[in-house]
Amino acid sequence: MKIYCKIACSVLVIIGFSCAYQSARAGAAAAIEYYVAASGGDSADGSAARPFKTIEAAKRQLDAIVKNGFEGDVAINIAPGTYRLDAPLVFESGVYGGGKANIVFRGDKSGGVIVSGSLAITNWQPAGKNIWSADVKGVLGEGRAIRNLYKDDKRLTRSRQPNGWQMFNIKAVENQESIVTLKLPIPEKIAPEDKAELIVLQNWSISKTLIDHSDAADAGRLYLTASAGFTEHPALIPKAGMSCFLENSKSFLDSPGEWYLDEKAGTLYYFASEGEDPGAGGLVAPILEKLVVITGDGNESVKNISFENISFRHTDFLLPGKKYSGLQASFYTREERDPIYSEPAAIELSFAENIVFKDCSVAHTGASGIGIGEGARGNRIEGCHLYDIGGNGINVGHRIRHMPVPPPGSPPLTNLSADWEKPELVPRNNDVSRNFVEYCGMVNYGAVGIFMAHSQRTLVSANTVAHMPYTGVSFGFNWSPKETSTRGNAIEYNHIYDVMNVLADGGGIYTLGYEPETTISRNLIHDIHRSKHTFGGAPNNGIFFDEGSAGIFVDLNIIYGLEKSAFPSTTEPVRFNNTKESNMKWGTNYFGIGPKNKKYPKELAEEILDKAAPEDARP
């Protein structure tokens, strides 16, 4: 028989410990429940009758009992409402190592529990026709920038030219990619105080570079503060013919939903729709980069923590220095010969075991959604909805620590594909199943829905992945056939469609490197697009086996609906680059066979769709 103790203050904590230990001696697990409600108070006792007001208050009580050795079940029950965090919820091995307690943060099944890394902006004043302004120094802090702004359930547009999906086109690049001339002049002069940026769409990545000023005599000539792009790779730098746009100047503020922050003055500007009053509420600025961080110390993992029915929303990711040089799948560098980084994730796990996110959602992030990093074992992301994600949706093999700087005089950076230094760092046995992942790469167009690098026995199963600017699912991260820690992974029963909407050289599924014992099986892949902004001739495909790909069993996959273009290879369901068909193992597949074809495997398609996360079952 379980003994249920509801405790909060220090006296009741002691009683709870006694209760727990007596129950443990009797052979039964003790259980503790806390309650959180927006109408509660943090000086309350956390009972159902007197709930805490904040999740942080409940976590402080949780920290205390776990640190003092409690070994039973703990539930933090959260009522519908919006709970804004001042700092990420951090679970470290000093308190949570070993996982003696079994902990669940449980939201209401209605989906109304929102954990937000934002603050509301309410002090708006009219500042011109449809232009409103707010003094945000007291909200954001003196001189602090933001790169994202949200209203209700929507990401707002940072002021830009041209508007929408219109683009400028590059005419010429000079002076080691530090001077870029556009084919058409820009409408307004750019000065250093604007902190405007040039965003260039490359083949499979983008670059963002701070503009110093525009040329007074030639309005299309831009002088940058650094060499744009990753100059160690010819495909990752601006070139004549590439599409681009400009962002972040008050002079670009000309369309409803756009905003601009004057960092120096601490004034935020917003272009409202006709009749809209932003002071009525719903407009929030993110102040956090991460919402949940679960990390052991390498000697002891954090274990046995679950999150259910919680919506995690609103994070930011500031431009690192003078530029962001996208490499691939949300990896980037900041300056020349700088370390290679993986974009931060709103939720990050490392040296963590049996951590579960079930029926949750992650949305409105400045960078990636969920990152499963080094030493992460047996964790599960199940039934979650990830959408409006700035970078990758879900990363397995997420590089929370950056890769080292090569010493002076060494060859160019080549460590993007670096394997883990020690076997104990390899993520293993993680499960990503029945999630609906859509609209990722909303800030970094080179991002993917689900990404896996250097991990073992990762299961990516029954997910729906859709509406991507680049690739849907990406597996492996080594550009050669040499053996790495990657092996025994499975991509199965996934429904992947409406991808490759902006960039090129990817597909529904993209693979790299030698992946023994890995399977790609029973996936339904269709509607692979070709953007008019794509640069060069790199094709888009249903499955793209890139450099070194080998050892993969490919069976019972359906691919159709590849958008035709001037490049014939774009229409190929499967592509091989620096590898070959014989490097894979093949079963029966249905390539280039759509629903109108008599040979279309209707029963197999229905089986996949029955298992894959339904779009109408969003948490």
Q: How many CB atoms lie within 10 A of CB 229?
A: 29
Q: How far apart are CA 281 and CA 522, in angstroms?
A: 46
- Yes or no: say if 252 and 214 are a contact pair by the CB < 8 Å rule: no
Rounded CA separation 532/502 (Å): 8
Bridge-based pairing state of the strands 473-475 and 490-492: unpaired
Q: What is the pLDDT of residues 134-144, one digit of tens each?
A: 999 888 877 77
Q: Greatest CA separation found in the chain? A: 85
Phi and psi, residue 297, nearest 5°: -110, 10
568 Cβ contact partners less than 8 Å away, ≥ 6 residues apart: none
Structure tokens at 471: 């690739």
Among all chains, which residue has been given the structure tokens 């259910």? Answer: 308
What are the tokens at 196?
Answer: 């405007």
Q: What is the pLDDT of residue 5?
A: 37
Residue 459 has φ and ψ, to the nearest 5°, of: -105, 115
Tokens 């729709």 identify what position?
273
Over the chain (619 residues), what is each successive 10-residue block's mean pLDDT?
35 35 37 96 96 98 94 96 97 92 93 94 93 91 87 95 95 95 90 93 94 92 94 90 96 96 93 93 94 93 97 92 90 80 94 97 98 96 98 92 64 68 94 98 97 96 98 93 94 97 95 97 96 84 96 98 69 91 98 96 97 67
User: Please, are residues 182 and 222 in contact by the beta-carbon 8 Å criterion?
Assistant: yes
Q: Name residue, tokens 């604007």.
A: 194
Q: Please list, residue by residue across 172-183, b when 16 or more beta carbons sit within 10 angstroms of its beta carbon and e when fewer do.
A: ebeeebbbbbbe
E runs forming strands in 409-563: 431-433, 436-438, 450-452, 459-461, 464-466, 473-475, 490-492, 495-499, 507-511, 514-521, 524-528, 541-545, 550-555, 558-562
CA 198 to chain centre: 22
Phi and psi based region of residue 607 (left: phi greater than 0; alpha: psi -120 to 50; beta: remaining): alpha
Burial class (CB within 10 angstroms; exposed 0-12, middle 13-18, buried 19+) of 225: middle
Strand boundaries in 266-387, DSSP class E:
267-271, 283-286, 292-295, 302-308, 311-313, 323-328, 331-333, 341-342, 345-350, 352-358, 361-363, 368-373, 380-382, 385-387
Determine the residue type at 549. S
Strand partners, 544: 510, 575
Q: Which residues contact 37 (CB under 8 A, 6 or more apart)?
A: 51, 52, 53, 78, 79, 81
Tokens of 32: 């503790």
- pLDDT for 106 equals 97
Separation CA 370–CA 291 (nearest Å): 10
Task: Provide CB contacts within 8 A for 32, sequence distance 6+.
Answer: 4, 5, 6, 7, 16, 20, 65, 70, 72, 73, 74, 75
Burial label, 602 (beta-carbon count in 10 A; 0-12, 13-18, 19+): exposed
| Amino acid type, 46 | G
> CA dihedral in degrees (168, 171, 177, 178; nearest 10)?
-70
- How far apart, in Å, are the Cα atoms of 60 and each of 21, 46, 157, 287? 21, 11, 37, 22
CB 452 within 8 A of CB 552: no
